[in-house]
Structure 1
């Protein structure tokens, strides 16, 4: 490790799930990158995101042609996030984000809608994806896809408010909003479309399955905070005017607890481990009576937990922060089979995940 490289060592993560990769991951990755490049959205980190590695771990047996939709969406939304959410100043981001987000949602609803002249590069690839989804998905699956994007964009607006006021949110607020700022529902809504089976509403909307969905989205998002912390620190070290707004679990825990970064890192991993243990317990209680469609969904959520972490520790998106400094950041992690306690953390906004009637 050289002086200009940053190393982050994570405490062991508890996640008793094994994952495989999709056999056509390389093909999916190449086709996705070429697809986005054709729309003029290629950037320095285009092929560093390993989108096929991400979705390929969630759906390792997915039909390649249908899985390509999810991989393409992943390429597009990383570019969308970089350009419209992360790489703009807060006062400009609000108008820029709202303008494009409202159009994206409408195109997902009605692919052939006429929204008038626009110079935005995102609408054409969104329209192509929407047309493919409408040919493959049921009306219910499409509504869930649109609802997932609305939830994501609401979360981004909340983040923009934090950035505009230059204030770090409380852990209680961050705990229930992080699943939305990370686009959890938008990400997993592709599972049904790729798989083809529609989960009955009485199952998907039941309290136990809602808890499982929220748990999985939050676990994955907080893992994102863990393996992206080095990247964020790398950028922060190069800022001329450091921001008081921190939108990462480790920083928020450190501020709320008044502790060191090392202590906050350990507590953050312990939090994620507790959520993971709760997910496993509730999932195991739901699976025996689950329909085939719900069982597949829960299997995918389970693989998301392990696959997302494995993907993030390897993706050059986080190891090469700006696309010009390969391996500037190294984040290393390990796994443990020792489960944490199954008691709710002192975070009221998510305490309902431990309601007794869920299992």
Structure 2
């Protein structure tokens, strides 16, 4: 292998098979305004990001990400989710990804307990090594309090606790250098990707509380997990080139905490075979989501219809955003265009729409859900 100092000048290109997606991506008309406001907001806190980190924050394109989920939302309210997305990507980049996992485990654990508490009670005293990150979280909590019902705030806090529990599970594997089984990864990936935490803001932004009986109905739970997992697996496809580039830079094997590597190692596949199988799995999940959604939507209440619309937008929106965002194209914030992922979408359904042989998620295909 070449010396590590040569690798940053090279590029990585990942070719993906056509990805089945019957839903068109949509955009919010005021993304540029949202971007300016969130840039101004973040400078009001003592985060002291480096120029590289500031570039990464801009490159994450949080207005474009959340604007694709809620294209019709009031921009003033949507700003709350865009600001949250900006600070949480910063948390992921700086606290979860940078440096040896064993060295950052203590700080990640500390923040994983404090962030939900500050969201729950914004007057919680701030302190410790991660206090700078908690200040914008406090601001988000206070702003959410203007609109959120008690139930919506509880759902938001619970979703963050689920996310951080999964982050600690993932960090444990990074510290140990182990690769989880596909069956475990498949049902936890929605949580490591902050699926519920992300969508918890949508209900606050719309102002309509989804009835508990609707949100916890088995079909809606399946649709929720399908959308979150599909988007997260797509993220694994976008980030695979980034992982390869960093592994080459550091002269180490790619980490075993992404769908492609897990499939490759568990089933002894070539990289191309693992990529193809990953796309096939995403296609099956998307097809199942579309079929089940069409069965549930006609009898859904107005708040539930809005929620299902956000889940629907998440799938093509995340695809469209992920293939453009510098988050994946600029792997370390210093090498723009170092990674290129080439992909296209198709409206032709996959040939195989049966449940994948993954027991932990097979219930999404239960025939009595709808």
TM-score tier, shorter chain, comes to: over 0.9
Q: Which residue of 2 aligns with 1:260?
A: 270
**TM-score normalised over the length of structure 1:** 0.96
Give distance in 1, aligned partners of 2:127 and 2:159: 25
Equivalent residue in structure 2 for 1:25, among 23, 31, 35: 31
1:138 is the counterpart of 2:159: no
Whether the 8 Å contact between 1:33 and 1:75 is mirrored in structure 2 is: no
Q: Which residue of 1 aligns with 2:332?
A: 322
Q: Which residue of 1 aligns with 2:11?
A: 5
Comparing 28-37 with 188-197, greater Cα deviation is found at 28-37
C-alpha distance 132-84 of structure 1, shift in aligned 2 (>3 A): same
Provide the secondary structure at the position in 1 that maps to 2:341: strand
When the two chains are superposed, the root-mean-square deviation of aligned CA atoms in Å is: 1.5
Provide the secondary structure at the position in 2 that maps to 1:45: helix
Q: Which residue of 1 aligns with 2:209?
A: 198
Give distance in 2, aligned partners of 1:15 and 1:297: 19
Give distance in 2, aligned partners of 1:273 and 1:338: 10
Whether the 8 Å contact between 2:107 and 2:129 is mirrored in structure 1 is: no
Give distance in 2, aligned partners of 1:270 and 1:81: 28
Q: Which residue of 2 aligns with 1:297?
A: 307
Provide the secondary structure at the position in 1 that maps to 2:340: strand
Provide the secondary structure at the position in 2 that maps to 1:57: helix
Once the two structures are TM-superposed, the CA of residue 117 in structure 1 deviates from its matched residue by 6.4
Please list the CA deviations of residues 147-190 of structure 1 after superposition, one character each: whole Å capped at 9, or x if unmatched.
11001001101101111221111111110110010000000101
Q: Which residue of 2 aligns with 1:165?
A: 176
1:176 is the counterpart of 2:187: yes
Please list the CA deviations of residues 260-292 of structure 1 after superposition, one character each: whole Å capped at 9, or x if unmatched.
000000000000000000001111111011000
Comparing 315-324 with 177-186, greater Cα deviation is found at 315-324
1:74 is the counterpart of 2:85: yes
Give distance in 1, aligned partners of 2:129 and 2:184: 36
Give distance in 2, aligned partners of 1:239 and 1:3: 13
Once the two structures are TM-superposed, the CA of residue 119 in structure 1 deviates from its matched residue by 5.8
Please list the CA deviations of residues 213-255 of structure 1 after superposition, one character each: whole Å capped at 9, or x if unmatched.
1011100000000111111111010114446x41110011111
Whether the 8 Å contact between 1:58 and 1:301 is mirrored in structure 2 is: yes
Equivalent residue in structure 1 for 2:162, among 132, 151, 159: 151
Give distance in 1, aligned partners of 2:294 and 2:308: 10
C-alpha distance 5-210 of structure 1, shift in aligned 2 (>3 A): same
Whether the 8 Å contact between 2:111 and 2:130 is mirrored in structure 1 is: no
Once the two structures are TM-superposed, the CA of residue 112 in structure 1 deviates from its matched residue by 1.2
Equivalent residue in structure 2 for 1:36, among 31, 39, 42: 42
Aligned counterparts, 1:220-235, within 5 A: 220-235=231-246
Q: Give structure 2 stretches of 5+ with no counterpart.
A: 1-7
Once the two structures are TM-superposed, the CA of residue 317 in structure 1 deviates from its matched residue by 1.3
Q: Which residue of 2 aligns with 1:287?
A: 297
**TM-score normalised over the length of structure 2:** 0.94
What number of residue pairs does the alignment pair up?
A: 357
Give distance in 2, aligned partners of 1:352 and 1:336: 26
Once the two structures are TM-superposed, the CA of residue 38 in structure 1 deviates from its matched residue by 2.5
Whether the 8 Å contact between 1:344 and 1:351 is mirrored in structure 2 is: yes
Please list the CA deviations of residues 95-115 of structure 1 after superposition, one character each: whole Å capped at 9, or x if unmatched.
111111211111100111225
1:186 is the counterpart of 2:197: yes
Q: Give structure 1 stretches of 5+ with no counterpart.
A: none
Q: Which residue of 1 aligns with 2:248?
A: 237
Whether the 8 Å contact between 2:156 and 2:197 is mirrored in structure 1 is: yes
C-alpha distance 159-267 of structure 1, shift in aligned 2 (>3 A): same
Q: Which residue of 1 aligns with 2:347?
A: 337
1:90 is the counterpart of 2:96: no
Once the two structures are TM-superposed, the CA of residue 3 in structure 1 deviates from its matched residue by 7.7
Give distance in 2, aligned partners of 1:46 and 1:272: 27
Once the two structures are TM-superposed, the CA of residue 323 in structure 1 deviates from its matched residue by 1.3
